[in-house]
Structure 1
């Protein structure tokens, strides 16, 4: 998933009620200090995290995220502050 800060996506949770106002805005993308384990192709992966702004109170869990240009993907979102959610990749 490649996009830039300020782009918007919508989120819904499979098998759960859609939370009203569940629009997310990418606030930051940061690279981790270390590298992750080797992927299925044997290459080492770079760790990174995405932080989104959204409505308060979304529970931690896997959410289906839709972006107009990038399409649909599932992200595990963790609340990291009021109206802020992180998806970390290793």
Structure 2
């Protein structure tokens, strides 16, 4: 199952939970415990919304194109006039 499928499944179940909490709220009334349940369900909805918003970015950030590195040696011409690290130009003396 892909992440998108999992998130869709969680969203459906959370919608069911919110409907059940609303029905329970009609029976239980405005008690401290019921307010806590409503608040917790609301936090779950907000957290899932944040996860849904960040999921496409996280999936695309993890995807990288493969870079193939050839086994053939590099062309020595690429290194012409390059300085050796810490030694300077090959035509000068090292300090």
Bin for the TM-score computed over the shorter chain: under 0.3
Q: Looking at secondary structure, tell me which structure has more helix per residue.
A: 2
Q: Looking at secondary structure, tell me which structure has more strand per residue.
A: 1
* TM-score normalised by the chain length of structure 1: 0.17
For the pair shown, which has the larger CA radius of gyration, 1 or 2?
A: 2
* TM-score normalised by the chain length of structure 2: 0.17
